[in-house]
Amino acid sequence: MSLLEIKNLSLSIMGTPILKNVSLTVNTGEIVAVTGESGSGKSLTALATMGLLPKGSTTTGAIQLNGQDLLTTSETDLCKIRGNDIGMVFQEPMTALNPVQTIGAQVAETIRIHGTMRKSDAMMRAAEVLTRVGLPQDKFPLSRYPHELSGGQRQRVVIAMAIALRPKLLIADEPTTALDVTTQAQILDLLADLARDYDMGLLMITHDLAVVSDMADKIVVMRLGEVVEQGETKSLLSNMRHEYTKMLFAASGHQVKLPEIPPSDALLSVRNVVRDYKTPRKTVFGSTGTFRALKCVSFEIRRGERLGLVGESGCGKSTLTRAILGLEGVQDGQITLDGDPVFMGKKPNLAVRRKMQVVFQDPYGSFNPRHKVTRLITEPFHLLETQPTPDERTLLIAEALTAVGMHPSDADKYIHEFSGGQRQRIAIARALIIKPDLIVFDEAVSALDVSVRAQILDLLVDLSAQYNLTYLFISHDLSVVRTITDRVLVMQHGQIVEQGVTEQVFTAPNHPYTQELIAAAPVLPDLEHLKA
Amino acid sequence: MIRYTLKRLTSLFISLAVASMLIFFVIEVAPGDPASFMLGINAQPDTVAALRAELGLDVPKFQRYLVWVQGMLTGDFGMSYTYRTPVSQMIADRMWVSLPLALYALTLSTIIAFPAGMYAAARRGRAGDIGVMGATQLGVAIPNFWFAMMLVLIFAIKLRWFSAGGFAGWDKGLDAVMWSLTLPAISLALPQAAILARVMRSALLDVMNEDYMRTARAKGLTTTQTLWKHGLRNALIPVLTIIGLQFSFLLAGGIIIEQVFYLPGLGRLVFQAISARDLIVVESVVMLLVFAVIVVNFAVDLAYAAVDPRLRART
């Protein structure tokens, strides 16, 4: 008998069918990865297993844990199973912990509600579990609050809560999506170790195929609420049968060919830029400290060049972006675009600002939902000295929308009428509309599904050829940076530790940090090699 | 935490200083001279001048302000223009009615609102929620003086459980005081409880969508346990804000209720002082109320920090 057996699970929420006849099994000690794009129903499959479906859900089929059907188990009994027999780790470690309780109390809670252990004993056990997940007591005492920990450390606390009672099954829903590559690698190792040590079944939900093929014993591919293909990792990868699986893998490793750029002079020049932030006082009357977010950063972007910027969170990528865009002043050094300083005295230089545009990560949060697309994409016009006439406006809107593969008639719609990928196209149209000299893409494809991401990358290549785009592409996703940029900067602790031609940096990294980053990034297996 | 407290204390003193200046000068610019008002329209100019000198109204304004502040710091609020008794004594007498009434009403409203808000949040969209929300809608809509009169009609006149008005006085003991304050406190508490319950419900509903609530459920906590152990404390910040505002309001805002129940409270004192142009009483009571508001806000700020460790860390 399998540890977890989902048989013909169908789910509908408020009458809308979500899952259709999903079947899968997880055996003791086995790592099963469920993968697919957003809306495939992978997270809801996990929540159904936990018995934590949203209100208005109706299910048919069976979810058996060691033979017990969880769908027919009462809520009271499910409460005894959750945390005890099944543990769950969630995607967003920054918000998954209660901000007003110490980490010790939160881990101990799992232990206490399932037993009669005294508080002091439960705290001791919590300390052991936290040590096991890599948070030793001398550095991370039980009295720490979540806000005092980094994202990776918080995810370790969430894992500690999930495994405190050594459940038979651990469900991890996108456990590393919000984390940096090196942290991701550590958390994945930890999960795999725990599954092996405790002989747990691990049901891993992830959209990242590189992660899937790296660690899973079995892969389940889902699409629109259905399982389209499943099997042992190696045999599935070497012999993909379903078109969707093939498409997913192709899109994940999607490579583009950037048009050649003729040699030209520098467009953006960043010289010895220093940015300090004040840190809070440590004692009552102590003085404020300073944190140097950018330490003498210098680089150039030539006209027509596509430059990548990689590094982990907190390395200064965002600070650098804000400085380049003139949103924040710098303490020392100078940033110029076409020879004009981005900052004039204490004020941003508007003449320069209108030559730069930015595309942000979140296609859902970066638009005002109450405005029509016309208004949204013409926002950069306020930077211009002379406003276009109404006729010119219409023409420019149509041109920008067509350039990103949308229809001019989309201008009269509201943003909620579009999918994530379409929204990101609109965001690019907004950046293109005043024909800027430089576009900054700040994690612009990170929130997108692989197939959509592949389309946006293709779009960028088209636009590069058409408009001779110059851009700075900031991303934590190394595989994307590798294909979409000519040159790359690697940033660590506010410094650029390595820069060079992208392909060279990736094939022969010089700096130890670059080597570490590249080694930590999960890579898709070579399918040809697998088949052989 | 010490830094946070010191910062809040500094802001408390600055607010007090600014408020005292505003109160003094705004009230002083208001038309109507207390001396001529007290003596009537037919008074002789020299009599008025003599009274002005006696009341200390002839010295420059700024000097009067300094004397006023100095007096308040030493507990001397000056003499009432109309009653010729020390203002501090008048305020103290009224305070012994208004303060217990405000605390009583606030306690009642909190006792009603917390469970009602939690109950409604836990049963969102179901009959219990709709019932509680309907009741709070009524509570906000019903004018409290009407509700007060209904209470008097039913519990004082018909059932004769409580007295219809008046204040027993502290010499009759705590029971008698509570007895005479119960109906006024209920009428004051009702609309406050309705508002607080709504705030509690919406704060809890916001919190219930948080990721950590789902994490708690995944650990095996029941819905109720999750709400108590993880929801309540996180939902407290907006609720504390409202409680702070309500206390300040209850302290002086009970003027209509004080009239209905014939209670000698601060609200009535201000009302009478304004009608009589008794500026010094008005200034002192207003200053006292401002002081109460600022101190309550200070206490609420400290309570925030006690509830949320992130606030302690930030400063």
Residue A385 lies in a domain: no
Q: What is the distance between the alpha carbons of residues B175 and A447, in angstroms, rounded to a whole number?
A: 65
- Closest-CA residue of B relative to A146 is B310
Q: Which of A495-509, B232-246, B260-274 has the highest mean pLDDT?
A: A495-509
CB contact under 8 A, A99 and B215: no
Highest mean pLDDT (candidates A180-184, A372-376, B176-180): A372-376
Determine the distance in angstroms separating the CA of B145 from the nearest CA of chain A, rounded to an integer: 41
Q: Which of A269-283, A339-353, B17-31, B185-199 has the highest mean pLDDT?
A: B185-199
Domain that includes residue A45, residue range = 4-94+169-252
pTM: 0.82
Q: Rounded CA gap, A237 and A227, in Å?
A: 16
**B39-B44-B47 Cα angle (round to 5):** 70
Long-range pairs for B152-159: beta carbons < 8 A, 24 or more residues apart: B152/B183, B152/B260, B152/B261, B155/B183, B156/B183
Tokens of B40: 């009537």
Listing from the earlier edge strand, what are the strands of the sheet with A86-89?
A: A86-89, A169-173, A201-205, A31-35, A218-223, A226-232
Q: Which residues of B touch A82 (CB under 8 A)?
A: 217-220
Note whether residue A161 is domain-resident: no
Task: State how far the Cα of B284 lies from the Cα of B73, in Å rounded to an integer.
Answer: 12
List Cα–Cα distances, B62 to B24, B66, B67, B69, B72, in angstroms.
9, 6, 9, 11, 15
Confidence of residue A102 (pLDDT cuts 50, 70, 90): very high
- DSSP single-letter state for residue A294: E
Concatenate the DSSP letters of all residues of A45-100 into one string. Answer: HHHHHHT-PPTTEEEEEEEEETTEETTSS-HHHHHHHBTTTEEEE-S-TTTSS-TT
Average pLDDT value for residue range B230-241: 89
What's the confidence (pLDDT) of residue B79?
Answer: 79
| pLDDT for the residue B163 | 78
CB-based contact B219 A82, cutoff 8 Å: yes
Chain B residues whose CB is inside 8 A of the A84 CB are 220
Best mutation target among A53, A95, A100 (most B Cβ atoms within 10 Å) is A100
Q: Which of B300, B303, B315, B294 is nearest to B11 (CA)?
A: B294
Q: Chain B contacts of A162, Cβ < 8 Å?
A: 218
CATH of B95-314, one of 1.10.3720.10, 1.10.357.10, 3.40.1280.10, 3.40.50.970: 1.10.3720.10
Output the domain CATH number for residue A173: 3.40.50.300
Q: Residue A162, SS3?
A: helix
| Residues of B whose CB is below 8 A from A110 | 219-220
Query: CA distances (Å), B122 to each of A50, A244, A398, A498, in order?
Result: 20, 42, 50, 55
Over residues A406-413, mean pLDDT: 90
Residue with tokens 């000519």: A486
pLDDT tens for each residue of B95-153: 888 888 889 999 999 999 999 999 998 888 889 899 999 999 998 898 888 888 888 88
Tell me what the pLDDT averaged over chain B comes to: 84
Residues 120-159 of A with CB under 8 A from B: 145, 147-148, 158
Of A84, A90, A147, the CB nearest to B215: A90
Beta carbons within 10 angstroms of residue A268's beta carbon: 25
Whether residue A286 lies inside any domain: the answer is: no
In terms of average pLDDT, the best of A341-355, A454-468, B76-90 is A454-468
- Asked whether residue A328 is domain-assigned, the answer is no
With beta carbons less than 8 A apart as the criterion, state whether A39 and A13 touch.
no
Sorted by where each begins, the domain ranges of chain B are 2-73, 95-314
- Beta-bridged to residue A129, according to DSSP, are none
3-state helix, strand, coil in chain B (%, to 5): 80, 0, 20
Residue A102, domain member (yes or no): no
Q: Considering the domain boundaries, does residue A43 fall inside one?
A: yes
Report residue B30's pLDDT band, with 50, 70 and 90 as the boundaries.
Answer: low
Q: Specify if A217 maps to a domain.
A: yes
pLDDT over 90 (residue A491):
yes
Compute the average pLDDT of residues A86-93. 88
Chain segment A370-401, per-residue pLDDT in tens: 899 999 999 888 888 888 899 999 999 999 99
Residue of chain A whose Cα is closest to the Cα of B3:
A284
Residue A182 in any domain: the answer is: yes
Q: Look at chain A and report how many structural domains it folds into.
A: 1
Of A430, A479, A490, A420, which is closest to residue A455 (Cα–Cα)?
A420
Which residues of chain B have a CB within 8 Å of the CB of A100?
A: 233-234, 307-309
